[in-house]
Copies of this chain bind each other. A is one copy, B any other.
Amino acid sequence: MGTFIGHISPGLAFLSFGILYAFKFSLMVLRGEKIQLVSAARPRGYRSCLRRIPAEGVMKIVYGTLAVMAEFFYPPGVNKLIIYNKEQPDHPFIHPNEWQHVTMYSYFALSGWVDIISQACLPRRLFLLENIAITLAFYTQALILHSHMHGKERVENSVHTLLLLACFLVCLILTVEIWRPNDHVLWFTKTCLVMTQGTWLLHAAFILYKPFTGKPWKSDDMANLMFVTNFFCWHIALNTILLLAIFSLTGLWLSRCSCRGSGSALPNTKTLNSYLKWADGTGVPSEHDKLQAVEEEIQLLQECDF
């Protein structure tokens, strides 16, 4: 929906995912956890399956499906679930914006289904499948954003180009993560970019549909185009600071928890150590680690006899 609410809602969705990722990856880094490409065999049965359903996947499905519904049937009484106008003689396509949005949202919903199937239903979690599904969703978003700009004003295009930039960088990072899933710099860069996509969409809604001055931004004023880029740079800075704050908060909360739990100073040291380990181990995924990971996986495969 090329409306105020049509930009606010995906903005909030991206922002909530960004914040979720920020907490998730901070926890994983501070605890020294790693993404396992194939998890250990899990108990079967309907119950344990239900218990394993991931929040992230459900969020994706709910958001995606709601957005698709809204595109077609919002405001209530409207039905846009038609591709071409049968009444006109040459059957022209109608609702191109809506169908493009629907395509985008469907891919994200699909990625949610893949998450659930992989994490809850399959005998083992296949991280690779989940990663490929979300990568595909972002690539589709980039492709559609690119063709979304035909015949629009320069300010709107400028706003969308910057969104496309953030989206395309996420695509690149996700592609690299297929081969390097445990690189901490990539984790946090991705998180920051997703958060930036969110806040930028929120800001874009105001720029395009509710400018504070009450009058739409003029496209022939160069100052406007230059300030759009400026604002985007400030969004990056703000989201970086927000990310640092979430990381620090998680660190603090984790050290408190462990203090209360064991009543000793040791866990604190451990947290700090793992933080340092993060800081120096990130860049160079050592051969040592790789070999260890391989050994663990081989052991895993040998243990299971189903």
Contact A128 B185 (CB under 8 A): yes
How distant is A5 from chain B, measured CB to nearest CB, in Å? 21
Contact A286 B294 (CB under 8 A): yes
Residues of B within 8 A of A237 (CB): 107, 110
Interfacial residues of chain A within 223-249, with CB under 8 A of chain B in the complex: 223-230, 232-234, 236-237, 240
How distant is A95 from chain B, measured CB to nearest CB, in Å? 8
Contact of A280 among B96, B240, B297 (CB under 8 A): B297
Residues of B within 8 A of A230 (CB): 96, 99-100, 103, 144
Contact A132 B96 (CB under 8 A): no
In Å, the complex CA distance between A262 and B103 comes to 47
Copies of this protein chain in the complex: 4
Chain A at the B interface: SS class: helix
How distant is A41 from chain B, measured CB to nearest CB, in Å? 10
In Å, the complex CA distance between A124 and B148 comes to 48
Q: Is A181 interfacial (CB 8 A cutoff)?
A: yes
Partner-binding segment picked from A7-15, A53-61, A269-277: A269-277
Contact B283 A179 (CB under 8 A): yes
A213-B90, A269-B306, A286-B294 given; A225·B132 CB < 8 A: no
Contact B288 A276 (CB under 8 A): no
Interfacial residues of chain A within 69-123, with CB under 8 A of chain B in the complex: 83-84, 90-94, 96-97, 99-100, 103, 107, 110
Q: Is A3 interfacial (CB 8 A cutoff)?
A: no
Contact A276 B103 (CB under 8 A): no
Quick one: closest B residue to A94, CB to CB?
A: B223
Residues of B within 8 A of A240 (CB): 136
How distant is A103 from chain B, measured CB to nearest CB, in Å? 5
Contact-residue size bin, chain A (C-beta under 8 Å from the other chain): 35 or more
Residues of B within 8 A of A224 (CB): 93
Contact of A287 among B103, B226, B228, B291 (CB under 8 A): B291
Residues of B within 8 A of A286 (CB): 290-291, 293-294
Interfacial residues of chain A within 138-184, with CB under 8 A of chain B in the complex: 140, 143-144, 146-148, 150-151, 158, 165, 178-181
In Å, the complex CA distance between A129 and B4 comes to 37
Q: Is A62 interfacial (CB 8 A cutoff)?
A: no
Contact A233 B103 (CB under 8 A): yes
Q: Is A65 interfacial (CB 8 A cutoff)?
A: no
Contact A221 B279 (CB under 8 A): no
Interface centre among A84, A147, A151, A165 (most CB of B within 10 A): A147
Q: Is A282 interfacial (CB 8 A cutoff)?
A: yes
Quick one: closest B residue to A274, CB to CB?
A: B301
Q: Is A260 interfacial (CB 8 A cutoff)?
A: no
New contact pairs (13) apart from A178-B283, A288-B294, CB-CB < 8 Å:
A37-B283, A37-B284, A38-B279, A92-B221, A93-B221, A93-B227, A96-B227, A110-B237, A128-B279, A128-B280, A132-B185, A144-B233, A277-B301
